[in-house]
Amino acid sequence: MKYLIAVFVLLWCFPQKPALQPAQTLLHPQWLFDGEQVHENWSVWISGNTIKQVGPRNTLAAPVDARSIELPGYTLLPGMIEGHAHLLLHPYNETSWDDQVLKTSIAERVIRAGVHAEKQLMAGFTTVRDLGSEGAGYADIGIKAAIQKGVIPGPRLLVAGKAIVATGSYGPKGFAEHVTVPLGAEEADGVDNLVRVVRDQIGHGADLIKVYADYRWGPKGEARPSFSEAELRLIVETAASSGRVVVAHAVTPEAMRRATLAGISTIEHGDLGDAAVFALMREKGVALCPTLAAGDAISQYNGWRKGVDPDPERIKAKKESFAAALKSGVTIVAGGDVGVFSHGENARELELMVEYGMSPLEVLKSVTTVNARVFGLGEQLGALKAGYLADLVAVKGRPDQDIRVLRHPDWVIKDGKTYKQPD
């Protein structure tokens, strides 16, 4: 009931903003990234919410009364896809994770999430994979519904609901045994319990299942695997029977190995991944979502002065593991763990992907076509192609040469509707 009340508050507080929806529109950028390569003097014809035609400017057969928009100096690209976000969190240097889960009302968290959703959309991310409500139950599913109904502006969402964790591994620690503490996730173990929990989450509307394959529960607080390979395989098989995939939080090589062999779709974080486990992931077709920006942000919250101080060990290790992932040829999806840092600053992850060794063009592919394919959206999103949904972003300059221009999109179009344009 408390989650329904929170969603009602969200719907009441965020009236839908008007969005332009011309029947026929021609966009004429100077450059166009179609999801694979950059073209000069190519145009896009949008009909309703669908891309009708893409190609050299003079070859498009749009009707003479179509609205025509010139975009000199701009690059037009597919709406970007965020691979790892938490709409129901905000930066830990504002409020700690424990205080958000233990002390903040669900109503406040849902209202914040509505603000976060709009910020991500205005940042050019028209689709977002939200990987866990972090103690807010199924509120993410209600937020998704509010966006779909046009009640609030926001990106298209893929939501996980409550992440699954092994008993005793996760959540706030240090409380007396008679105190029941909200965990921020759902505990499950063993055959019967895991099957029931996965099916229950699917029944509540989860688009995918998220599991913590390891967590910081070792004798010295270090990360250790939390589920056996057999348990992970059971989660995957149960979800797969409903057509859903499973993603795994995993930072240790052993948890990454177990998750990969169990059939997980993507590994989230992979901080300590090595050449062997990345080679296995490539062999099995498992993608890595590196979340570089999360570690970068947390290190700065802990006092690291980036650009002034030497890299802390956490950053050095992440750079090494990411280099190993690139060398292995494992598929890299773009996702920053937004919520650990500010919503709307999603492009921080893309900048770090370049800083850590990817080319700007490969990063552009990752945040569009690759994400769409890995997330099961590749027949509708992630590319500028006839028949695809009209999700488009326009930025000043050439992101294939300077990824930083993605920080400031001037145009954002989702499902054929213009949500952001120059004044």
In terms of domains, do 416 and 349 share one?
A: no
Joined together, the tokens standing for residue 406 give 């993605």
Joined together, the tokens standing for residue 318 give 């992440």
Residue 16 belongs to a domain: no
In terms of domains, do 271 and 399 share one?
A: no
- pLDDT value at residue 175: 86
In terms of domains, do 54 and 183 share one?
A: no
Q: Which amino acid is at 38?
A: V
In terms of domains, do 410 and 272 share one?
A: no
**CA 105 to chain CA centroid, nearest Å:** 24
Q: Which amino acid is at 188?
A: A
Dist. CA 333–CA 403, nearest whole Å: 16
Residue 12 belongs to a domain: no
- pLDDT value at residue 54: 98
Which residue from 397, 400, 399, 420 is spatially nearest to 410, judged by alpha carbons? 420
Residue 17 belongs to a domain: no
Which residue from 376, 284, 379, 371 is spatially nearest to 336, judged by alpha carbons? 371
- pLDDT value at residue 12: 47
Which residue from 77, 124, 83 is spatially nearest to 375, judged by alpha carbons? 83
Dist. CA 416–CA 140, nearest whole Å: 24
Q: How many CB atoms lie within 10 A of CB 359?
A: 12
Dist. CA 391–CA 80, nearest whole Å: 8
In terms of domains, do 284 and 364 share one?
A: yes
* Of 374, 392, 409, the domain-final residue: 374
Q: How many domains would you assign to the chain?
A: 2
Residue 9 belongs to a domain: no
pLDDT in tens, the chain (423 residues): 455 445 444 444 544 444 444 479 999 999 999 999 999 999 999 999 999 999 999 899 889 899 999 999 999 999 999 999 999 999 999 999 999 999 999 999 999 999 999 999 999 999 999 999 999 999 999 999 999 999 999 999 999 999 999 999 988 888 888 988 888 999 999 999 999 999 999 999 999 999 999 999 999 999 999 999 999 999 999 999 999 999 999 999 999 999 999 999 999 999 999 999 999 999 999 999 999 999 999 999 999 999 999 999 999 999 999 999 999 999 999 999 999 999 999 999 999 999 999 999 999 999 999 999 999 999 999 999 999 999 999 999 999 999 999 999 999 999 999 999 998
Dist. CA 403–CA 124, nearest whole Å: 13
Q: What is the crossing angle of helices 2-13 and 139-148, to 10°?
A: 30
- pLDDT value at residue 62: 85
In terms of domains, do 277 and 308 share one?
A: yes
Residue 15 belongs to a domain: no
Q: Please tell me what DSSP assigns to residue 366.
A: I
* Of 374, 394, 411, the domain-final residue: 374
Mapped onto helix, strand or coil, the DSSP state of residue 239 is: helix
Mapped onto helix, strand or coil, the DSSP state of residue 286 is: coil
Which residue from 381, 374, 344 is spatially nearest to 49, judged by alpha carbons? 381
**Residue span of the structural domain in which 412 resides:** 24-79+383-420
Looking up residue 29, the CATH number of its domain turns out to be: 2.30.40.10
In terms of domains, do 95 and 205 share one?
A: yes
Cβ proximity of 47 and 5 under 8 Å: no
In terms of domains, do 185 and 36 share one?
A: no
In terms of domains, do 88 and 47 share one?
A: no
Residues 105-124 as b or e (16 or more Cβ within 10 Å = b): ebbebbbbbbbbbbbbbbbb
Residue 402 belongs to a domain: yes
- pLDDT value at residue 6: 52
Dist. CA 204–CA 423, nearest whole Å: 41
* Of 336, 354, 374, the domain-final residue: 374
In terms of domains, do 263 and 208 share one?
A: yes
Mapped onto helix, strand or coil, the DSSP state of residue 415 is: coil
In terms of domains, do 358 and 396 share one?
A: no
Residue 350 belongs to a domain: yes
Q: Which amino acid is at 102?
A: L
Looking up residue 201, the CATH number of its domain turns out to be: 3.20.20.140
- pLDDT value at residue 74: 98
Dist. CA 165–CA 41, nearest whole Å: 51
Joined together, the tokens standing for residue 194 give 């895991």
Residue 317 belongs to a domain: yes
- pLDDT value at residue 2: 52
In terms of domains, do 181 and 242 share one?
A: yes
